[in-house]
Amino acid sequence: MQSTNAVNQANYLEYRGRFKGLFGWIFSTDHKRIGLLYLYSMAVMFSVGVLLGLAMKLELLAPGKTIMDAQDYNATFTVHGVIMIFMVVVPGLPAVFGNFLLPIMIGAKDVAFPKLNLLSWWFYVAGVFLVLAALLFGPGTPDTGWTFYAPYSFKTGTNMLPAIFGAFILGFSSILTGLNFLVTIHRMRCPGLKWSKLSLFVWTLYGTAWIQLLATPVVGITLVLVALERLFGVGIFDPALGGDPILYQHLFWIYSHPAVYIMILPAMGAISEIIPTFSQKHIFGYKAIIASTMAIAFVGYLVWGHHMFTAGMSGTAQYYFSLLTFLVAIPSAIKVFNWISTMYKGSINIQTPFYWAISFIFVFMIGGLSGLVLGALAANIYVHDTAFVVGHFHYIVFGGTGFAFFAAIHYWFPKIFGRMYDKAWANIGWIVFTIGFLTLYSPMFYLGMMGMPRRYYDYLEEFHGGNILSTFGSWILATGFIIIIVNLVRSARRGEKAEMNPWKGKTLEWTVPSPPPVENFDEIPEIAEDDGPYNY
């Protein structure tokens, strides 16, 4: 017992186990270290994705060739998409904050399968290297777009197989994480922690884990089929061999639309933690938020066809997918209503995470409402494959998941690193980033409505003004991003020591020291009957 107590006195950052230095991290099965491994890996990949995005916007600064030709532009948006989707937003909040916080939030010492958890990160790294190999070596960088659409994906002369295989491996990482979280939530909750007392972030991780487990294998198999088609010409998707390219689109979106909810549900969970804490008030409609989370997870699984309205689907399927797409808006709107109602008459403490959270609601609503334009069959035909779609997508995925990620990192930073960031610089970073975001993506709605197609390196003169504004926005956004990163990196090393509960939160992670001890708790906590995650 003596040695156990001694171990628990060391926090997870200082703990020296069997290995030292880098090996002490990459072979660690501690869920907190694995969370940080994901954070660092994803930060690197996100930075690469941002640079590629900036390059695209620079190309679009003026009509005609600016810095790259058409083929390079095709490769750039493909790589940008593959990195941002498969390596950043899909692992996203669950891989970083889920890993770090889930066991603490349910009063456990670790996840159910710590070694499997580490294996998930290793799969992630292997997938990243495979995809990067596809970019740097072989006959040419993939140019299909991140969707790998058939039949082009098995006809193009570019280096597709390693990219496809890399995405396949990344899928395994996601499946294993989902499985781990499901078992952990079912089996490892501390005594007294009923389902009705779980924090909302845990609930959203639960919904997400189900989607990861059920949807990811579909894309895995689909990518294998593309590889078989490419290698042996088996004729599943190739119309020349009796195959159906629209079948590829069905299979791809059966995963990739739920993947949007893999990205956004944990983001909503983080926002559902931040708003009550900074309003110092019980979350409004706890059960409604849980029900809407599960409803989004379920209905979101069945709306994939709205990506295919112009692909040649049957009219019956179009009606069905359009109707269900509109239905998904309802649980999303319930959440927004609950967040705003939580703030109503609360003791609002305006801090950086709260700024990020309310700007999340703002951009997410614009993204969501523009999604209804795309979900309507007639309007979809008009704006399909235009810059409007790019604007909507980035408002949802970057504005939703990205803003929530920054909200979450500013909220849980003192817990993770045991230090507080410079709040003034954090606020400056937020405002610059937000202005940059709005300037970058808002013109895309206008450009799309005016008819500017997406995925072209060139455009007509009439779209020049909007593109200049958008490119200018990308520079502002990058400036904001640099301010945020520099502030956080500097503060992780030299920031003021953070107290255990700087925001006066009520969930379990605020009851352990900052940074947490290796095994989180000296004794597994017990939740009393009248305790709850938002009892202010």
Partner 1 sequence: MSDEKTHIVPYRVYAFVLVALVVLTFLSIAITGYDLGKYTVAGALIFAVVKSFLVLTYFMHLKYDKPYIKIMVGFVFAILVVTIVVTFLDYLYR
Positions that interact with partner 1 (CB under 8 A): 214, 246, 250, 254, 301-302, 305, 312-317, 320
Report CA-CA distances (Å) from 413 to 36, 487, 499, 514: 11, 12, 12, 9
Nearer to partner 1, 254 or 518 (CB): 254
Nearer to partner 1, 128 or 265 (CB): 265
Report CA-CA distances (Å) from 484 to 356, 441, 498: 12, 20, 18
Nearer to partner 1, 192 or 312 (CB): 312
Nearest C-alpha neighbor of 240 from the set 113, 154, 149, 143: 154
Nearer to partner 1, 302 or 435 (CB): 302
- Is residue 15 a contact partner of residue 518, using CB atoms and an 8 Å limit? yes
CB of 262 to partner 1, least distance (A): 15
Q: In what helix (H) or strand (E) does residue 497 lie, and over which residues does it extend? A: strand 496-497
CB of 320 to partner 1, least distance (A): 5
Strands (E), 335-424: 419-420
- For residue 526, how many other CB atoms are within 10 A of its CB? 11
Task: Say whether 385 sits in a helix, a strand or coil.
Answer: coil
CB of 216 to partner 1, least distance (A): 13
- Is residue 300 a contact partner of residue 258, using CB atoms and an 8 Å limit? yes
CB of 301 to partner 1, least distance (A): 7
Q: How many CA atoms lie within 13 A of 170 on its CB side?
A: 29
Nearer to partner 1, 121 or 321 (CB): 321
CB of 234 to partner 1, least distance (A): 16
Nearer to partner 1, 257 or 281 (CB): 257
Nearer to partner 1, 325 or 352 (CB): 325
- Is residue 492 a contact partner of residue 61, using CB atoms and an 8 Å limit? no
Structure tokens given for 162: 């390693």
The whole-angstrom separation of Cα 346 and Cα 324 is 35
CB of 200 to partner 1, least distance (A): 22
CB of 327 to partner 1, least distance (A): 14
